[in-house]
């Protein structure tokens, strides 16, 4: 890749967009007024990063004239593939917005201070600072306090659990489903999904979080552990991690988990007798191809979501599908200019074909549409074209799918369970090896595809990344189309350097 | 033999002045022969010493310092005008004084939308990782950004004559030391300023103009094994009808000695170099059409509105 060419391309694009805005009869120049809508797409603190896989490609929700969205998409694509430093890209965007602002009519001059790129720069700085050590009085000092359990040496392990435990106190009752146990250098945790109800009204309770904080455990050697819940709750349930205050030593065979107001349950920490079969195939994908594949996944998942008639969700998904496709030609051109994508790559043509199959005409890709599409794309396209969900979703169920995939592009992904409800199917994963200097908002992670036992393909897209710390993160992915009551799954993680395939049994409970 | 000069690029510019609110009144700020002058503050250095000792800082003096600080700031090219028709109007009311905060972010604005009730995962905090450090770093960045924006606005408020002249200073500072750090900004600045000229000159879609910065050796920065060409660069029109594309390669100094002096497009010729700079009379090398040999033109300048020069044969 060529950073100079990438930067030149982005700057030339800014010139083009500024010209469009200043040409009489051109696009409106209005910049967004600050407000709630404008806040929606700014990167927040690290714990709120939303994007999986990497390329947010979000003209959607982006406040301001279309020129800003187009420029931002190109900037984001170039930073995502590593062709240009995000500091440089942010500065170009911020200066573009200032250039637009000083060409505003006098009455709109207050917008000079409302430039989103400027805010984004500051928010990104906040994120960077929180991830990078700053000069400290004693860099060698140990991590302080009781909330800093040192990671115990021991192998990473991922173990399916598949256990439902009742929980209750005077105000709240419910069930906690323990999907899987995982242990990494940063600690140990269970992935969990909880259904909680108010003991009197049977409605989702307010402030039920206390009930999920009081778990304790004892291992087979008599050592005690405190467990705390970390995650989030909605009307449909609570998802997250039940995190042990320290990692069990390697030799521990089981834990006795004491639940608040409920029984004590024994959980085996021994590796399953028949671990899932996993294969790895080396491939070589350019950063640009990887980005475009991830973009295709986002379009396909948005198109799949649009087929589900759920109030405003489907119309929002339709709009998102269209927005994801709009201006892809600019991104392809930028990637080629930056040397991140070969001009001979077949992927732009495939993406053009995908867009046209979905009647998305504004893609702007100049490559001729390909005659053939990858099989997973075709499968999801046929789902989208059916325009009605033909599947029976497992209502309020969990599956103890657990597998640690081999390292891919430096990142290890552990699948830690599935849960399904009327909102769809979600997959819980845990990531390790996220480089310390990456921006989790834009870092391009491997794409995840799933094939069920009927041969239908599904894709995983980001729903929420709980935390990034020391290169580890817990994330929740939405599976689209939602899974049926399948009994096995092939999971394919596709990165730049390899594809990993794992076959796992699925036991719904 | 024709000598092309970018040195003393400003010789083809007339002096200009602007009124600046300073203290309780307004003062003249003058630009002349490449230098900024403060007629109302004959001993600006002494005033700076007084200001350092707690005295009031005159805005004229502040502006002169700001001008010097931004005389190599490539952001000036990104924000400033692309041509005489591209009006950048900033009034003094838009310009916050250095002691005034300019950008009111507020902590709430920096966070995303409210999330569902959540129990944050608590990881151990390293020394130096804490919220106080984050806040301090953000504060510093906000202040830095505010100051930079306020300073740029104050320079733009001086009006178009100063905007063009400041751009000339910036380019002149960089033209002799091209590198990967400044070439992209200069190439974009060149393209952005040539595009409207090409539209006027050839009726060309301005998006179809691509310019590269010629290095000192006569080869364009975009690389490649281009055969040695004329010292001023090259201008090539390719394609037909609506698919015409203009490829231009010029020295970065063109932006200073030609464009900033208002000489870029004279009598339907694209001026590619200045042979003999001067005000109000200069001699330039100009192309009647792409692919044609350049011709020498003697041109005469008059002050247009706001001290922007207008040149004719």
Range of the domain at B62: 15-103+142-255
Q: Are A323 and A303 spatial neighbours (Cβ–Cβ below 8 Å)? A: no
Segments forming the whole domain that contains residue A196: 157-268
State the nearest Cα–Cα gap between B153 and chain A, in angstroms: 8
Domain C-terminal end among A115, A131, A147:
A131
Mean pLDDT of A279-299: 91
Same domain, A11 and A76: yes
Residue B132 in contact with partner chain A when CB distance is under 8 A: no
CB atoms within 10 A of CB B68: 11
Which ipTM value was assigned to this complex?
A: 0.86
How many domains does chain A contain in total?
2
- CB-nearest to A39 from B109, B134, B207 is B109
Q: 3-class secondary structure for B173-201?
A: HHHCCCCCCCHHHHHHHHHHHHHHHHHHH
CB of B117 less than 8 A from some CB of A: yes
On whether residue B6 sits in a domain, the answer given is no
CATH of the domain at A206: 2.60.40
Q: N- to C-terminal Cα distance for chain B?
A: 22
Q: Would residue B237 count as lying in a domain?
A: yes
CB contact under 8 A, B119 and A118: no
Q: How far is A230 from chain B (nearest CA, A)?
A: 5
Which of A113, A233, A239 to probe the B interface (max B CBs under 10 A)? A113
Whether residue A214 sits in one domain with residue A117: no
**Residue A73: which residues within 8 A CB-CB, separation 6 or more?**
A57, A58, A59, A327, A330, A331
pLDDT category of residue A62 using cuts at 50, 70 and 90: very low
The nearest CA of chain A is from the CA of B13 a distance in Å of 25
Q: For residue B29, what pLDDT is reported?
A: 92
Q: Encode pLDDT of A367-419 as tens digits.
A: 999 999 999 999 999 888 775 555 555 567 888 888 888 888 888 888 999 98
Instruction: Decide if B64 contacts B36 (C-beta within 8 A).
Output: yes
Q: Which residues of chain B fall below pLDDT 70?
A: 1-7, 50-55, 97-131, 134, 216-229
Residue A477 within a domain = no
Nearest to A416 by CA among A294, A301, A504: A504
Q: How confident is the model at residue A143 (pLDDT cuts 50, 70, 90)?
A: very low
Indicate the residue of B112, B137, B192 with minimum beta-carbon distance to A125. Answer: B137
Calpha distance B283→B281 (Å, rounded): 7
Q: Which two tokens stand for residue B72?
A: 């190599």
In a shared domain, residues A173 and A125: no
Q: Is residue A250 in a domain?
A: yes
Residue B50 inside a domain? The answer is yes
Does residue A436 have a pLDDT over 80?
A: no
Residue given tokens 């030339």 in the structure block: A12
Virtual torsion, Cα A340, A341, A347, A348, nearest 10 deg: 110
Distance, in angstroms, between B189 CA and closest chain A CA?
8
Q: Would you call B115 an interface residue with chain A, using a CB distance cutoff of 8 Å?
A: yes
Q: Do residues B193 and A12 make contact, with C-beta atoms less than 8 angstroms apart?
A: no
Instruction: Determine the pLDDT at residue A421.
Output: 80
Same domain (yes/no): A63, A27: yes
Closest among B261, B274, B197, B273 to B229, alpha carbons compared: B273
Considering the domain architecture, whether residues A124 and A16 belong to the same structural domain is answered as yes
Q: Which of A183-197, A280-294, B253-267 has the highest mean pLDDT?
A: B253-267
Q: Nearest by CB to A133, from B103, B118, B129: name it.
A: B129
Q: Do β-strands B295-303 and B281-287 pair in parallel, antiparallel, or remain unpaired?
A: antiparallel
Token output for A369: 């549409």
Question: Which two structure tokens, joined as six digits, stand for B64?
Answer: 């002169």
CA distance B60 to B25: 11
Q: How many CB atoms lie within 10 A of CB B93?
A: 10
Same domain, yes or no, for A188 and A74?
Answer: no
Is the bond preceding residue A481 a cis peptide, omega within 30 degrees?
yes
Tokens representing A2 are 């060529």
Beta bridge mates, A280: A500
Q: In the predicted model, what is the mean pLDDT of chain A?
A: 78
Chain A residue numbers touching B185 (CB-CB < 8 A): 11
**Is residue A232 predicted with pLDDT exceeding 80?**
no
Q: Of A40-49, A234-243, B120-129, which range is least confident?
A: A40-49
**Angle, CA A356 vertex, CA A350 and CA A360 arms, to 5°:** 120
Percent of chain A with pLDDT over 70: 73
**Does residue A86 sit in the same domain as residue A206?**
no
Q: Are A51 and A95 in contact (CB under 8 A)?
A: no
Angle made by CA atoms B89, B260, B271, in degrees to the nearest 5 = 130
A11 and B102 in contact by Cβ < 8 A? no
Residue A484 lies in a domain: no
Q: Is residue B160 part of a domain?
A: yes
Residue of chain A nearest B186, judged by CA positions: A8
* Chain B residues 201-260 with CB within 8 Å of chain A: 206-207, 210
Please report the pLDDT score of residue A464 as a whole number: 73
Q: Which one of A24, A131, A134 makes the best mutation probe of the B interface by having the most chain B beta carbons within 10 Å?
A: A134
pLDDT the model gives residue A122:
58
* Total number of domains in chain B: 1
CB contact under 8 A, A44 and B111: yes
Best residue in A5, A7, A8, A338 to probe B by mutation, most B CBs within 10 Å? A8
In a domain, B134, yes or no: no
Give pLDDT, residue B159: 93
Answer whether residue A35 is part of any domain.
Answer: yes
In a domain, B210, yes or no: yes
Window 48-77 of B: residues touching A by CB (8 A cutoff) are 75
State how far residue B105 is from chain A, nearest Cα, in angstroms: 7
Judged by average pLDDT, the poorest of A28-32, A109-113, A232-236, A265-269 is A28-32
The answer to whether residue B4 sits within a structural domain is no
In a domain, B272, yes or no: no
> Residues A464-477: what's their mean pLDDT?
76
A40 vs chain B: nearest CA distance in angstroms? 6
The pLDDT tens digits of the residues spanning B240-279 come to 877 899 999 999 999 999 999 999 999 999 999 999 999 9
Chain B residues in contact with A106 by the CB 8 A cut-off are 89, 91
User: B65 to chain A, minimum CA–CA distance in Å?
Assistant: 22
């Amino acid at each position: 890749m060529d950073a100079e060419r990438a930067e030149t391309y982005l700057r030339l694009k800014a010139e083009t967009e500024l010209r469009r805005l200043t040409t009489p009869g051109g696009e409106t120049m209005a910049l967004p007024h600050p407000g709630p809508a404008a806040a929606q797409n700014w990167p927040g603190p690290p714990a709120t990063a939303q994007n999986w896989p990497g390329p947010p490609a979000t003209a959607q929700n982006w406040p301001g004239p279309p020129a800003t969205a187009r420029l931002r998409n190109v900037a984001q694509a170039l930073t995502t593939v590593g062709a240009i430093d995000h500091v440089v890209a942010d500065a170009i965007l911020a200066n573009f917005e200032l250039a637009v602002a000083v060409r505003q009519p006098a009455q709109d001059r207050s917008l000079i201070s409302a430039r989103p790129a400027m805010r984004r720069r500051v928010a990104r700085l906040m994120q960077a600072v929180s991830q990078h050590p700053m000069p400290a009085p004693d860099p060698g000092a140990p991590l302080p306090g009781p909330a800093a359990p040192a990671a115990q040496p021991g192998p990473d392990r991922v173990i399916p659990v598949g256990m439902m435990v009742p929980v209750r106190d005077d105000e709240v009752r419910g069930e906690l489903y323990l999907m899987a146990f995982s242990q990494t250098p940063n600690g140990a945790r269970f992935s969990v999904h909880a259904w909680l109800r108010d003991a009197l009204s049977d409605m989702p309770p307010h402030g039920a979080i206390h009930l999920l904080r009081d778990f304790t455990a004892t291992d087979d050697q008599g050592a005690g552990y405190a467990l705390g819940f970390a995650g989030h709750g909605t009307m449909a349930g609570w998802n997250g991690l039940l995190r042990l205050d320290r990692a069990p030593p390697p030799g521990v065979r089981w834990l006795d988990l004491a639940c608040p107001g409920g029984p004590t349950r024994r959980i085996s920490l021994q590796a399953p007798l028949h671990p899932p079969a996993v294969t790895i195939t080396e491939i070589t994908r350019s950063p640009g191809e990887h980005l475009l594949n991830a973009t295709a996944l986002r379009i396909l998942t948005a198109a799949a979501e649009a087929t589900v008639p759920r109030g405003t969700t489907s119309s929002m998904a339709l709009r998102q599908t269209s927005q994801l496709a709009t201006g892809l030609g600019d991104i392809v051109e930028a990637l080629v200019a930056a040397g991140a994508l070969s001009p001979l790559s077949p992927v732009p043509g495939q993406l053009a074909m995908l867009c046209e199959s979905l009647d998305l005409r504004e893609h702007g890709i100049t490559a001729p549409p390909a005659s053939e599409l990858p099989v997973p794309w075709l499968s999801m396209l046929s789902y989208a074209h059916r325009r009605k969900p033909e599947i029976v979703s497992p209502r309020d169920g969990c599956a103890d799918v657990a597998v640690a995939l081999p390292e891919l592009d430096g990142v290890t992904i552990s699948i830690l369970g599935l849960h399904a409800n009327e909102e769809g199917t979600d997959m819980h994963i845990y990531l390790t090896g996220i480089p310390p200097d990456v921006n989790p908002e834009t870092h391009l992670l491997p794409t995840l595809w799933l094939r069920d036992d009927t041969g239908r393909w599904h894709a995983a897209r980001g729903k929420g990344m709980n935390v990034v710390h020391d290169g580890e993160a817990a994330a929740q992915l939405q599976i689209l189309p939602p899974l049926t009551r399948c009994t096995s799954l092939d999971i394919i993680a596709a990165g730049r350097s390899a594809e990993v395939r794992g076959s796992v049994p699925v036991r719904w409970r | 033999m024709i000598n092309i000069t970018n040195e003393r690029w400003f010789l083809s510019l007339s002096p200009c002045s602007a009124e600046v609110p300073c203290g309780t009144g307004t003062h003249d700020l003058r630009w002349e022969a490449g230098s900024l002058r403060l007629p109302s503050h004959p001993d600006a250095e002494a005033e700076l010493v007084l200001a350092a000792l707690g005295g009031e800082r005159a805005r004229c003096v502040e502006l002169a310092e700001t001008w010097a600080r931004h005389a190599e700031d490539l952001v000036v090219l990104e924000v400033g005008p692309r041509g005489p028709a591209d009006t950048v109007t900033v009034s003094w009311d838009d310009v916050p004084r250095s002691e005034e905060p300019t950008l009111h972010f507020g902590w709430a604005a920096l966070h995303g939308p409210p999330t569902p009730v959540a129990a944050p995962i608590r990881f151990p905090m390293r020394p130096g990782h804490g919220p106080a450090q984050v806040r301090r770093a953000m504060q510093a960045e906000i202040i830095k950004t505010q100051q930079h924006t306020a300073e740029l606005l104050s320079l733009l408020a001086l009006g178009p004559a100063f905007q063009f002249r400041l751009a000339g200073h910036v380019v002149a500072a960089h033209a002799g030391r091209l590198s990967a750090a400044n070439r992209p900004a200069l190439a974009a600045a060149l393209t952005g300023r040539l595009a409207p000229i090409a539209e006027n000159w050839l009726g060309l879609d301005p998006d179809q103009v691509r310019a590269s910065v010629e290095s000192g050796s006569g080869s364009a920065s975009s690389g490649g094994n281009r055969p040695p060409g004329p010292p001023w660069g090259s201008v090539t029109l390719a394609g037909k009808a609506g698919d015409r594309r203009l490829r231009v390669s010029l020295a970065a100094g063109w932006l200073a000695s030609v464009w900033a002096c208002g000489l870029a497009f004279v009598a339907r010729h694209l001026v590619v170099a200045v042979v003999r700079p001067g005000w109000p009379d200069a001699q330039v090398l100009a192309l009647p059409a792409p692919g044609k040999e350049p011709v020498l033109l003697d041109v005469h300048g008059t002050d247009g509105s706001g001290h922007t020069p207008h040149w004719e044969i």
